[in-house]
Structures are given as C-alpha cells and as structure tokens.
Amino acid sequence: MSRVIDPGCLAEASERFLAVRARIEEACLRAGREASEITLVGACKRQPLDRIAAAVCAGLTQLGENYVQAAQETRPQLEERLAAHFADRRTRAPAPTWRMIGHLQRNKAGPAAGLFHAVDSVDNPRLARALESRARDQGLVVDACLQVNLSGESSKSGCPEADLPDLLASCAEFSHLRVVGLMTMPAPDPDPEQARETFARLRALRDTLGPKEGGAHLRHLNMGMSGDLEVAIEEGATLIRVGTDLFGERTPPPSPGSPEKTVP
C-alpha cells in the first residue's frame, strides 16, 4: 500500500466535504445559527479505508461506525494509514473522534467503551449501566446520546418517548457515562419536510428534560442525515450524520450474517 493517499481520492473527498459544509452553512444562515454549532459526523459504514482517510484529511473530525467489529478493524488501520500519509510532513496526523451510531448490544459494552469516544445509541438502562461499568473499569469517560424512537417503527431501535425520563434519571449518578444529548431517526420519506415534526419533538424533549434529573449535560440534538440535514438544522440539530454524500456509494454488504455477531 502506498504511503500517500491517492491525490484523486483526496480531491474528491475535499470536494464532497466542502459541498456538505456549504449545505450546513446555508441552512444555518436561514435558521439564524452559527455553522460552528453543527458537528458533522461521517457515517463510514462499509466505506473503503482510503475514502475515510481522505475525508479526514479534508477536515472531517468525527467518524461514526455501526458495528463494534468494524471499528475494531478500521480504527487501527486508519490510524496507521494517516500516520504513513503524514510521516514526511511537519503537521501531526489528525486523530478523529469515533462515535458508535448503530444499535449496540449490552454484551458489546466493554469493547465499545474502549473504542468509541461517544455512543449515540443508548436506549435502555441495562445498556447504560453496562457502559458505565466498562468505562469505569478502563478509566474512561464516554459521552452518550439517548436514542429515542419517535416514529413508532418496530424496525427501529430506541427508547419509547414515555420511557425517556426514567432512562435519563437512571444515568444521573454515573461518572463514566455522560449523557450529553438525544438522538432520533424519523420514518423514511423522500420529502425532508416530513421529518420536521419528529425533529421538533426531539428538541422539545431535550428542552423539557434538561432541568430534570440526569439532564445536567443534555444539550445535543443528534438528528439529520444526507437527505434532511437542512430541516434538522432548522429545528436545532447539533450533530448530523452523513454517509454517501461525504464518501460516495458504499461497498456491497457482506455475506449473510451481521459483523456485530462475530465479536467475542
């Protein structure tokens, strides 16, 4: 493997990154917000390593992965790739923040706490307690977003809205898992305006729960993806997750069997 990331890949990554940032800036301008309020998370599920590395070189500072095993494989490879690319430069290789953005099984809490700076998909008290315990064992503090299922779809993970206050309160005494926000995914719809109500509901939940037990650090709204990020920003999003628009089309899925299931 070449030490230097392909210039064509770097050029495409920069073009894609700047295009997404321009959309963010335009949406913020319409909403009367500062673009610095928005954190862009690159959803790198099934993306080639050089595309991810090139996006980081272009300025992407946060990476989101859906599976523990994928992060176990990709994170060290990316660190090595970036170190090699920057070896002959005077600037230090960038070190992106890693976020768990997919459904997390409780028995994967240990490796997840060590791999990810943040877990954006905490949806039940048992998972929260497991992450707190495993992070404490490793001397770490992990940020978390509580995932809320506001669409009512059975296929989606997430805490029911009615259970959210109890979930937040159950995390109040934690010192190694810090709840900093809420996350949701609206029902799929080609019209981004259809997501507005869901995004507004999440904002209202955050504002209501902020003064409640466990809400001391509750400020982030993790919502919005490629197709609806403008609406999400208009409704208060602070974290948005973008995949294909940043990296290009994903590689084909692996053969049957989730990679998550193969993690010991």
Per residue in 181-223, pLDDT (tens digit) is 999 999 999 999 999 999 999 999 999 999 999 999 999 999 9
Whole-number pLDDT of residue 264: 33
Closest CA to 230 of 17, 25, 14: 25
Give CA–CA dist 151/146, Å, rounded: 15
Whole-number pLDDT of residue 257: 55
Whole-number pLDDT of residue 254: 65
The mean pLDDT value of the chain amounts to: 93
When computed from its CA atoms, the radius of gyration of the chain, rounded to whole angstroms, is 18
Q: How far apart are the first and last CA of the chain?
A: 29
Give CA–CA dist 85/158, Å, rounded: 39
pTM of the entire predicted model:
0.91
Q: Return the biggest CA–CA distance within the chain.
A: 55
Give CA–CA dist 49/65, Å, rounded: 13
Dihedral class, residue 235 (left if φ above 0, else alpha if ψ from -120 to 50, else beta): alpha
Query: Each residue of 29-87: pLDDT tens digit?
Result: 999 999 999 999 999 999 999 999 999 999 999 999 999 999 999 999 999 999 999 98
Task: With beta carbons less than 8 A apart as the criterion, state whether 234 and 28 touch.
Answer: no
Confidence of residue 256 (pLDDT cuts 50, 70, 90): low
Query: Each residue of 126-173: pLDDT tens digit?
Result: 999 999 999 999 999 999 999 999 988 877 889 999 999 999 999 999
Angle, vertex CA 71, rays to CA 68 and CA 72, nearest 5: 85
Class of domain 7-246: alpha beta
The two tokens of residue 241 are 């997750």
> 7 burial class (0-12, 13-18, 19+ CB within 10 angstroms)?
exposed
DSSP 192: G
